[in-house]
Amino acid sequence: MAIFKYSNYLATSKSTSFDQPLQPSSFAPCGGIYRCTGCGTEIASEGIGLLPDRQHHKHAPGVPPIQWQLTVATVATHPQPYLHGAG
């Protein structure tokens, strides 16, 4: 689970970007922290490339497959692709 110290740097969002589990090696729709829904591993992504593939980390037998879910999105004053509607 992602942790933070200063809550004034975070805001809540109703964006559906947080609800979509993404497959390994798929395009990261925005920069932020992504969590594997199968094992809880978290990674940071700039949002301008692909999410880690299945070789990034292995799951033990019986653990659900790797799927990445956005948990914290970054917001930048730069033009897209830094934020694709996750705000």
Determine the Cα–Cα distance for residues 52 and 57; give it in Å rounded to an integer: 9
Q: Is 79 helix (H, G, I), strand (E, B) or coil?
A: coil
Residue 24 maps to a domain = yes
Q: Is residue 10 part of a domain?
A: no
Its domain, for residue 30, covers 19-54+61-87
What is this structure's pTM? 0.82
pLDDT digits (tens, 9 = 90+) for 3-16: 889 999 999 999 99
Please check whether residue 87 lies inside any domain of the structure: yes
**Angle 70-10-87 from CA coordinates, rounded to 5°:** 50
pLDDT (tens digit per residue) in 58-84: 888 998 999 999 999 988 776 655 555
Please tell me the total count of domains within the chain. 1
Q: Tell whether 5 is covered by a domain.
A: no
Instruction: Tell me, yes or no, whether 30 lies in a domain.
Output: yes
